[in-house]
Chain A
């Protein structure tokens, strides 16, 4: 493997954000390489989702750099780009999976069109080809391809989440940000989704940042783990190191609280 010759997909340095006089992110630094899964854990309000949204450009940081290695333009600082520049530069290199699939799907479109739309936006024009790819992806996320013309509202929550993942991955992004993707799901449905994510991440050599409050999810999916508290990264390392040999008081509390 030549992994060490590669550059990180993402490098965040000194990221900070306040809402009014409340500091929500302080001095955040992280790097992520292709094929790596990084989990972010921490209590509600610790800044996990805020960090994810800052990387995704949904909110502008006050300070710091978000260096993203795009396919077309090389390394760009996402923190300095306007929304339109951002779209042009990173295109479909970056995906975002919402906790609630309804936030990430187009509910007025069919399942197939939800997968096909990002391809259209990326410039693909051949309708038959797009439909074929959409059908293939339904298969990959274990949805019966015969349901390609149904609207997502007819799907169960687990199916909707799998559809959202297909919509995100169809354009082969370099980095996917996931906010509690298994959050609202039953345990058995969760297991199926986790198994699917595990395989897709390995097959596509994706870099993933996954925010979760479930340490089991982190252990199963993530190579590395970051623990956040009050807007700061308080502990980081290999997932098994942080979970089996936690050093910080808060991390020890978190690990010892698992049922």
Chain B
């Protein structure tokens, strides 16, 4: 674990009293709380690894921070252009703008887009920022090169790739736009040791370049290499 990074200024992302529960209407409206009173602040240059047993709600927290799950209560303040936008109160359009420019998410699995070649899937977040196609593809090629994805795959749709290959495509897509905040769920789960080392290095570089990273990761060596700090997510009593 790296020595803690001195913090100055306002956090890149901060939650206050964040709570999330689920209600299953088909199960007689069974309701269970997953997150309650989460207060988390993450600054630029930090990598906070979420710590807790399976089922504690680490992925739920990460998805809630991205606006993928809708919070019940509390605030998620995301810093964009020097202003804090509360994701919990934001309109869908504001959330889309946050995701385009500020909030990146690298999920465990690639959502394949039919027919789209790998290099275009990776380049897409840059195109959405208005970067022209040639520049976006060049940047995508650079990342795929670093992630050691063989050239012959670049123009193929990733639907038939192995899990590890898809995961590397996903990581390239997640890193390409240089979002100031990165939410990362098990970035190395299906990778061999060599590829795991590459991904760890890329994430370390991103952090040192001033990104704020929140990660879920079970593998001990990767956790130690990535984390500047751990944040406990305790197991809740599953009833509300």
Task: Report the separation of the CA atoms of residues A194 and B68 in the bound assembly, to the nearest whole angstrom.
Answer: 23
**Interface residues of B: mostly helix, strand, loop or mixed?**
mixed
Looking at the assembled complex, report how far the CB atom of A50 sits from the nearest CB atom of chain B, in whole angstroms: 24
Partner of A240, one of B22, B68, B130: B68
Asked whether B25 lies within 8 Å of A244 as measured between CB atoms, the reply is: no
Instruction: Give the Cβ gap from B115 to chain A, nearest Cβ, in Å.
Output: 4
Given contacts A191-B114, A247-B23, contact A237 B70 (CB under 8 A): yes
Query: Could you tell me the distance between the alpha carbons of A212 and B97 in the complex, rounded to whole angstroms?
Result: 25
Residues A237 and B92 in contact, CB atoms below 8 Å apart: yes
Q: Is A83 an interface residue (CB 8 A)?
A: no
Within 8 Å CB of B23, what residues of A? Answer: 247
Is A3 among interface residues, defined by CB-CB distance under 8 A? yes
For chain A residues 194-236, which have a beta carbon within 8 Å of chain B?
Answer: 194-195, 198, 202, 219-220, 223-224
Contact (A224, B25) CB under 8 Å given A244-B63, A244-B68 = no
Q: Is A253 an interface residue (CB 8 A)?
A: yes
Bound CA–CA A244/B67 (angstroms): 11
Chain A: CB-nearest residue to B99: A238
For the complex, give the distance between the alpha carbons of A192 and B96 in Å.
26
Report A-chain residues with C-beta under 8 Å of the C-beta of B69.
241, 244-245
Q: Counting chain B CB atoms within 10 Å of each CB, which of A223, A245, A248, A256 scores highest?
A: A245
**Distance in Å: Cβ of A80 to nearest Cβ of chain B:** 27
Q: Is the CB of B114 within 8 A of A194?
A: yes
Per-residue CB proximity of B66-88 to A under 8 Å, as 1/0?
Answer: 01111000000000000000000
In the complex, whether B24 has a CB less than 8 A from a CB of chain A is yes
Tier of interface size on chain B: 20 to 34
The main secondary structure of chain A at its interface with chain B is: helix
* Residue on B nearest A224 in the bound complex, by CB: B92
- Contact of B70 with A241 in the complex, beta carbons under 8 Å: yes
- Are the C-beta atoms of B96 and A223 separated by less than 8 Å? yes
Is the CB–CB distance between A238 and B95 below 8 Å?
yes
Mask, B44-62, CB within 8 Å of A = 1, is 0000000000000000000
Smallest CB gap from B124: residue in A? A202
Q: Is B131 an interface residue (CB 8 A)?
A: no
Chain B 1-30 near chain A by CB (<8 Å), digits 1 or 0: 000000000000000000000111110000
Interface residues of chain B, those whose CB is within 8 Å of chain A, are 22-26, 63, 67-70, 92-93, 95-97, 100, 111, 113-116, 127-128, 130
Starting from the known contacts A198-B116, A240-B68, 18 additional A-B residue pairs (CB-CB under 8 Å) come to A1-B130, A3-B97, A4-B93, A191-B115, A195-B113, A195-B114, A198-B113, A220-B113, A237-B70, A237-B92, A238-B68, A238-B96, A241-B67, A244-B63, A244-B68, A245-B22, A247-B70, A252-B25
Closest 5 pairs (CB-CB, A-B): A191-B114, A249-B25, A195-B115, A245-B69, A238-B92
